[in-house]
């Protein structure tokens, strides 16, 4: 899952507005705002919404490890260059 703090941090890193994350994930802006208020894994969230958000962020190169309850971390992975041959 992804935590509210990770969502906030990832959006900040990507310089995405709530609207941009909503468009990329297919999750409503209102839901994203509500999820971001939670410090841990949002208890009242549908798992599918959290997975859609996580997939949208990871699609932009972020790696969001599971929350250990204390540390909010993310790292950037190298995206494959579609112009480069495999």
Encode pLDDT of 24-58 as tens digits: 999 999 999 999 988 777 776 677 898 899 999 98
Domains of the chain from N-terminus onward: 4-76 (1.10.260.40)
Which is nearest to 54 in space by CA: 46, 62, 42? Answer: 62
Once rounded to an integer, what is the mean pLDDT over residues 62-73? 61
Q: Both tokens of residue 73?
A: 């971390």
Q: What is the pLDDT of residue 46?
A: 74
Whether the CB-CB separation of 9 and 19 falls below 8 Å is answered with no
Calculate the alpha carbon distances from 70 to 24, 41, 44 in Å. Answer: 28, 12, 20
For tokens 């297919």, name the residue. 26
User: Does residue 71 surpass a pLDDT of 50?
Assistant: no
User: Does residue 6 surpass a pLDDT of 70?
Assistant: yes
Once rounded to an integer, what is the mean pLDDT over residues 14-23? 97
């Amino acid at each position: 899952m992804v935590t509210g703090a990770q969502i906030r941090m990832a959006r900040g890193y990507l310089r995405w507005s709530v609207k941009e994350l909503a468009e990329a994930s297919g999750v409503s802006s209102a839901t994203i705002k509500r999820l971001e208020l939670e410090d841990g894994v949002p208890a009242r969230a549908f798992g599918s919404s959290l997975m859609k958000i996580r997939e949208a962020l990871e699609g932009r190169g972020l790696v969001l490890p599971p929350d250990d309850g204390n540390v909010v971390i993310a790292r950037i992975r190298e995206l494959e260059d579609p112009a480069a041959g495999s």
